[in-house]
């Protein structure tokens, strides 16, 4: 009999600012040493559930709470955040923001400092924990010198230093590239095996978490737990998809092909996924009917020629990059953090000037255009919409660029309304922006660029931190724009995104282009994925199981997926 460590009993919670409860009648028991994955859409209440555990609810976020949550037998509301932090360590989504120290050692030591631990003991403890997460060689490094994955290791060390029993990860994969995310999941798994801690992962990127075994999947929808079961059983059902959670690609491919998934096929683990000969043939035949390589004979819109750039004149960030983007293309720039993706996009929109090389738009050298002139042709949408929005009303925000150009108000009205209609914001045109959700704000920022009628839109991580439903919403919107002829360039490390929506991509590795071509080709190529910190798609493994060329198989999947999506619209 395992000992329960967390017990929710009929827990209901309503935030003070909200009318309806965010969590409704939650009953959930987690045992010591268990590894539980909590999935759900943004707004489903899964983060609220996490906040109930670490004490941010009810101590920082106030509201009405009924029922009970006990951690190690103790009612949380009779405890305090500080006391709870000794039992449950929280690793937040944004590893950069929560890095409070000026260097790694200081950040790991933060909890000990607050405990008045004396210096010698503190240094010893920090060294030990740093070793546990393999960061012992970086003690003196500042956050600016670390990668996203390293910052997350530091955050993890910062809670491990307290010797907590429970580790709570709030969307640990949101800001990591695929390869780093995979390593993070491995690290969490190894750590749990070594220390026998209870692990709770809140995440909507199901396939990535399932890279290592989890004991249970808990699905939350509209504040209620609607499923709490073994991963194999969960994947065999269709309930995830119905709840807006993306299934692993190999599972959806099998389902597309009409294979009936049962728990004893071990669908939660591609390495153990077993298919009968009959099922294999079904998948093979299905894939065969969808092979078709798209032809592309569109004219060239944007062309970069041997671009070079460095910030300090010493370290080359962009090192001889040449590329072509065709008119009407949906194009992805991929690569790991620090490979030069963002810098390249800044060169394109003129925020930075290349040291050598040329950029041509429709054959015209655009070197001498000002930022504003460039902005009218190539518009950039920043990752965080809050960094772009500077007006209080939606209409004004979208009209802003036009007003700066002193276009007459009648024409502005016409163009803004037209754009708002395209973006599905027309009904809300007189709303204040503060009333919008994150995804809607994102759409406002896209609209505010679109209204300038740029030839190309560049989007920096358009779907970062979005769950599958909102992601699909944003991407389908962009796809619609693209189908209407808008050329779109995206910087992303989301593999699904580029696989499903992009015509072409190139990967940047250390400032150079390493691969250029169809995404389906990049993601089944071991060398490319390794160099660019990507992950081989699980379709590759499935293709091997059914004995088909992985590139063809992946392309078939994309084709099938796209035609289904269009049929659905």
Partner 1 sequence: MRETKLFAYVDKGTFVHRLSGLTKLVCFLLLTLATMFTFDIRVLGAMVVLSIAIAIISKLPFKRYRAFIAYILVFLLFNFCLNFLLAPDYGENLFGTRHELIVFTEFYTLTLEEIFYQLCKGVKFLVILPLGLLFFYTIHPSELASSLNGVKVPYKVCTVFSLALRYFPDIQRDYTNINLAQQARGIDTSKKAPLKNRILSFTKVLIPLVFSTLDRVDLISNAMELRGYGKDKTRTWYSFRKLERNDYIAIGVCILVFIFVLVMRFVVVKDLFWNPFI
Q: Which stretch binds partner 1 (CB under 8 A): 99-107, 209-217, 285-293, 538-546?
A: 99-107
Contacts of 218 (CB under 8 A, 6+ apart): 28, 36, 37, 38, 39, 225, 227, 228
Nearest to 361 by CA among 377, 345, 342: 377
Q: Which of 15, 138, 284, 351 binds partner 1 (CB under 8 A)?
A: 351
Asked if 357 and 305 count as a contact pair (C-beta separation under 8 A), the reply is yes
Q: Which of 41, 254, 349, 422 binds partner 1 (CB under 8 A)?
A: 349
Nearest to 105 by CA among 86, 118, 124: 124
Q: Which of 67, 106, 233, 393 binds partner 1 (CB under 8 A)?
A: 106
Q: Is 336 in the site for partner 1 (CB under 8 A)?
A: no
**Residue written as tokens 């329960």?**
4
State the DSSP string of 208-264. Answer: HHTTS--SEEEEEETTEEEEEE-HHHHHHSSHHHHTTPPPPHHHHHHHHTTPPP-GG
Task: Give the Cα separation of 347 and 343 in Å (integer).
Answer: 6
Which SS3 state, helix, strand or coil, does residue 387 take? helix
Residues numbered 270-329 forming contacts with partner 1, rule: CB under 8 A:
311-312
Least distance between partner 1 and beta carbon 375 (Å): 3
Q: Which stretch binds partner 1 (CB under 8 A): 4-12, 111-119, 479-487, 532-540?
A: 111-119
Continuous H helices in 289-393: 341-349, 371-377
Least distance between partner 1 and beta carbon 96 (Å): 8
Give the nearer residue to partner 1 in terms of CB position, either 457 or 536.
457
Give the nearer residue to partner 1 in terms of CB position, either 55 or 223.
55
Give the nearer residue to partner 1 in terms of CB position, either 122 or 225.
122
| Helices (H) then strands (E): counts for the chain | 23, 20
Residue 203: asked if its preceding bond is cis (omega within 30°), the reply is no
Structure tokens at 308: 């070079």
| Exposure of 265 in the CB half-sphere (CA atoms within 13 A) | 21
Q: Which stretch binds partner 1 (CB under 8 A): 48-56, 67-75, 230-238, 319-327?
A: 48-56
Task: Give the Cα separation of 486 and 450 in Å (integer).
Answer: 9
Q: Which of 24, 77, 123, 255 binds partner 1 (CB under 8 A)?
A: 123
Q: From residue 432 to residue 451, what is the string marking binding to partner 1 with x (rule CB under 8 A)?
A: ----------------xx--
Q: From residue 137 to residue 166, what is the string marking binding to partner 1 with x (rule CB under 8 A)?
A: ------xx-------------xx--x----
Q: Which of 187, 302, 347, 380 binds partner 1 (CB under 8 A)?
A: 380
Q: Count residues contacting partner 1 (CB under 8 A)?
A: 68
Least distance between partner 1 and beta carbon 168 (Å): 9
What are the CA-CA distances from residue 426 to residues 204, 348, 398, 508 (Å)?
30, 30, 11, 38
Contacts of 89 (CB under 8 A, 6+ apart): 158, 159, 160, 162, 164, 166, 167, 168
Structure tokens at 5: 């460590």
Q: From residue 383 to residue 402, what is the string marking binding to partner 1 with x (rule CB under 8 A)?
A: -x-xxxxx---------xx-
Give the nearer residue to partner 1 in terms of CB position, either 336 or 346.
346
Give the nearer residue to partner 1 in terms of CB position, either 248 or 379.
379
Q: Is 98 in the site for partner 1 (CB under 8 A)?
A: yes
Cα-to-chain-centroid distance, residue 234: 22
Give the nearer residue to partner 1 in terms of CB position, either 149 or 379.
379
Task: Give the Cα separation of 409 and 12 in Å (integer).
Answer: 50
Q: Which of 27, 119, 137, 285 binds partner 1 (CB under 8 A)?
A: 119
Give the nearer residue to partner 1 in terms of CB position, either 40 or 89.
89
Q: Is 371 in the site for partner 1 (CB under 8 A)?
A: yes
Q: From residue 63 to residue 82, what is the string marking binding to partner 1 with x (rule CB under 8 A)?
A: -----------------xxx
Least distance between partner 1 and beta carbon 230 (Å): 31
Give the nearer residue to partner 1 in terms of CB position, either 130 or 545.
130
Task: Give the Cα separation of 77 and 81 in Å (integer).
Answer: 9
User: Where along the sequence are the contacts to partner 1 (CB under 8 A)?
Assistant: 54-56, 60, 80-82, 85-86, 90, 92, 94, 96-103, 105-106, 109-119, 122-123, 126, 143-144, 158-159, 162, 311-312, 342, 346, 349-351, 371-372, 374-375, 379-380, 382, 384, 386-390, 400-401, 404-405, 448-449, 452
């Amino acid at each position: 009999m395992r000992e329960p460590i967390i017990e929710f009993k009929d827990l209901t919670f309503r935030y003070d600012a909200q009318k309806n409860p965010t969590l409704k009648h939650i009953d959930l028991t987690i045992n010591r040493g268990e590894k539980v994955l909590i999935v759900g859409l943004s707004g489903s209440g899964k983060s609220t559930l996490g906040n109930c555990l670490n004490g941010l609810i009810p101590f920082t976020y106030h509201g009405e709470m009924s029922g009970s949550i006990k951690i190690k037998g103790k009612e949380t509301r009779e405890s305090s955040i500080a006391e709870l932090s000794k039992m449950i360590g929280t690793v937040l989504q944004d590893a950069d923001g929560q890095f409070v120290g000026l260097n790694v050692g200081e950040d790991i030591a933060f909890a000990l400092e607050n405990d008045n631990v004396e210096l010698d003991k503190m240094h010893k403890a920090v060294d030990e924990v740093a070793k546990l997460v393999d960061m012992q060689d970086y003690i003196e490094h500042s956050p600016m010198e670390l990668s996203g994955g390293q910052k997350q290791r530091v955050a993890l060390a910062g809670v491990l230093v307290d010797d907590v029993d429970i580790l709570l990860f709030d969307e640990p994969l949101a800001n990591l590239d695929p390869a780093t995310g995979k390593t993070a999941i491995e690290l969490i798994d190894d750590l749990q095996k070594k220390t026998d801690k209870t692990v709770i992962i809140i995440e909507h990127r199901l396939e990535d978490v399932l890279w290592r075994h989890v004991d249970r999947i808990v699905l939350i929808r509209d504040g209620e737990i609607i499923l709490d079961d073994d991963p194999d059983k969960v994947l065999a059902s269709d309930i995830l998809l119905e709840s807006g959670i993306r299934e692993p690609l190999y599972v959806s491919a099998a389902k597309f092909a009409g294979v009936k998934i049962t728990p004893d096929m071990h669908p939660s683990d591609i390495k153990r996924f077993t298919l009968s000969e009959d099922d294999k043939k079904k998948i093979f035949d299905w894939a065969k009917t969808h092979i078709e390589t798209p032809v592309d004979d569109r004219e060239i819109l944007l062309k970069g020629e041997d671009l070079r750039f460095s910030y300090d004149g010493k370290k080359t960030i962009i090192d001889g990059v040449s590329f072509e983007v065709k008119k009407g293309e949906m194009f992805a720039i991929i690569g790991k953090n620090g490979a030069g993706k963002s810098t390249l996009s800044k060169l394109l929109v003129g925020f930075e000037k290349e040291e050598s090389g040329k950029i041509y738009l429709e054959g015209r050298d655009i070197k001498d255009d000002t930022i504003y002139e460039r902005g009218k042709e190539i518009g950039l949408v920043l990752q965080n919409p809050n960094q772009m929005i500077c007006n209080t009303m939606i209409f004004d925000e979208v009209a802003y660029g036009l007003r700066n150009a002193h276009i007459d108000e009648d024409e502005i009205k016409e163009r803004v309304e037209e754009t708002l209609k395209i973006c599905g914001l027309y009904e809300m045109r007189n709303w204040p922006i503060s009333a919008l959700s994150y995804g809607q704000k994102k759409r406002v920022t896209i609209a505010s660029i679109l209204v300038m009628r740029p030839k190309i839109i560049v989007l920096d991580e358009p779907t970062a931190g979005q769950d599958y439903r909102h992601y699909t919403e944003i991407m389908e919107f962009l796809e619609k724009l693209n189908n209407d002829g808008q050329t779109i360039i995206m910087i992303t490390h989301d593999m699904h995104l580029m696989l499903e929506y992009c015509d072409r991509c190139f990967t940047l590795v250390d400032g150079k282009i390493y691969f250029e071509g169809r995404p389906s080709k990049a993601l089944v190529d071991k060398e490319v994925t390794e160099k660019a910190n990507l992950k081989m798609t699980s379709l590759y493994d499935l293709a091997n199981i059914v004995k088909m060329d992985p590139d063809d198989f992946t392309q078939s999947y994309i084709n099938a997926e796209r035609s289904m999506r269009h049929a659905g619209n």
